[in-house]
Amino acid sequence: MSIDDAAPHQREHRRRTRGAWIRRGGLASVVFALPAVFVFGLFAWSPILQSVVFAFQKTNLVDAASWVGWSNFTYVLSDPLLPRVMMNTLWFAVLALVIGFPVPLVLAVFMSELRRSRGLFNVLSYLPVVIPPVVAILLWRFFYDPSAEGLFNRVLASVGIPAQPWLNSEAMAMPAIVLEVTWATAGGTVIIYLAALAGVRTELYEAAELDRAGIWRRIWHITLPELRGVILVLLLLQVIGTLQVFTEPFLFTGGGPNNSTKTILMMIYDYAFVNGDYGAATALSLMLAVVLGIISAFYLWATRRWSRS
């Protein structure tokens, strides 16, 4: 068959395919989806595109904006506080990974091994998530009272340890914040792990028990490999979340003492709502988004083989 003869057949095949797609409800699905796509674009992508425009303008959202090109980026990168803020954010992320990431996994594995009272432990683990973040932070600020009457200092005094300054110390403030964040957010991750553990084939554990494998061998050879995909996804989400931390250091210390807990998002907040410079704020936001995108892309590339094996 020549090319000229094949062309009409191809066009006829495309017409029939489109007709079948319409009859199966494809066109109706698109029509129903259009309002949702429009609303999503209006409230999600429109602000993102507007922020990109702001990054190249000098604006306070009151006076007329003026184009300044790359001046906002130059201004942010030359800010002497930026290196300190970046190190604080990175330090928080490292502490959150070392302290906070293993805790939900350990709790989930422990609760999955329970034969009784599993529901009670599920409720207790998720209870901190239900507490509003502001309420939880105010409660922990009371616990972190640096005086001898503070709750944590009274506990330490009972075992002969002197009172600690907690949030008033440059060295202790960030670990103290990470401790509260771990307590407040671990419950949600525990529920995800428990849901993933429910999908693990029971015959694997039964075979391991027949082979007289102990709990540690079952965890190492069955539980962790079966949770590999979930662990990888949650690890990436935690890295992204910790690099955008704001609420806890803002309410606990306001970035102090001596800027030791000031993070990148707090710096963005100061640019926008303290200095009224939305151009610099959006420029720093855009740089953070690019960095997070690069980290995510590299992480997915580096772990794709391990996640599929």
Q: Which of 74-88, 112-126, 127-141 is most confident?
A: 74-88
Range of lowest pLDDT (70-84, 111-125, 231-245)? 111-125
Domain hosting residue 201, numbered range: 82-261
The verdict on residue 71 lying in a domain is no
CATH number at 176 reads 1.10.3720.10
Is pLDDT above 70 for 148? Answer: yes
pLDDT of residue 266: 95
- Averaged pLDDT score across all residues of the chain: 84
Residue 105: Cβ-neighbour burial (10 angstroms; 0-12, 13-18, 19+) = buried
In the block, which residue shows the tokens 């001898």?
148
The verdict on residue 47 lying in a domain is yes
The verdict on residue 70 lying in a domain is no
Centroid of chain to Cα 24:
39
- Are 146 and 35 part of one and the same domain? no
- The mean per-residue pLDDT over the stretch 136-151 comes to 90
Write the CB contacts of 109 (distance below 8 Å, at least 6 apart in sequence).
193, 197, 219, 223
In the block, which residue shows the tokens 């999955």?
112
- The mean per-residue pLDDT over the stretch 92-118 comes to 85
pLDDT of residue 3: 45
Joined tokens for residue 296: 């995510």
The verdict on residue 130 lying in a domain is yes
- Are 127 and 237 part of one and the same domain? yes
pLDDT in tens, 74-89: 999 999 999 999 999 9
Write the CB contacts of 163 (distance below 8 Å, at least 6 apart in sequence).
146, 147, 148, 150, 153, 156, 157
pLDDT in tens, 250-300: 999 999 899 999 999 999 999 999 988 889 999 999 999 999 999 999 988
Rounded percentage of the chain residues whose pLDDT exceeds 90 = 39
pLDDT of residue 127: 85
- Are 25 and 147 part of one and the same domain? no
Q: How confident is the model at residue 308 (pLDDT cuts 50, 70, 90)?
A: low
- Are 256 and 155 part of one and the same domain? yes
pLDDT of residue 124: 81
Q: How confident is the model at residue 57 (pLDDT cuts 50, 70, 90)?
A: confident
pLDDT in tens, 192-216: 888 888 887 777 777 776 777 777 7
Joined tokens for residue 253: 């210390």
The verdict on residue 284 lying in a domain is no
- Are 205 and 120 part of one and the same domain? yes
pLDDT in tens, 1-39: 444 455 555 555 566 666 666 666 667 777 888 888 888
pLDDT of residue 126: 85
- Are 104 and 251 part of one and the same domain? yes
- Are 103 and 172 part of one and the same domain? yes
- Are 127 and 163 part of one and the same domain? yes
The verdict on residue 10 lying in a domain is yes
Rounded percentage of the chain residues whose pLDDT exceeds 70 = 89
- Are 45 and 99 part of one and the same domain? no
The verdict on residue 175 lying in a domain is yes
Write the CB contacts of 262 (distance below 8 Å, at least 6 apart in sequence).
81, 84, 85, 88, 249, 255, 256
- Are 193 and 244 part of one and the same domain? yes
The verdict on residue 192 lying in a domain is yes
Domain tally, the chain: 2
- Are 20 and 110 part of one and the same domain? no
pLDDT of residue 203: 74
- Are 169 and 235 part of one and the same domain? yes
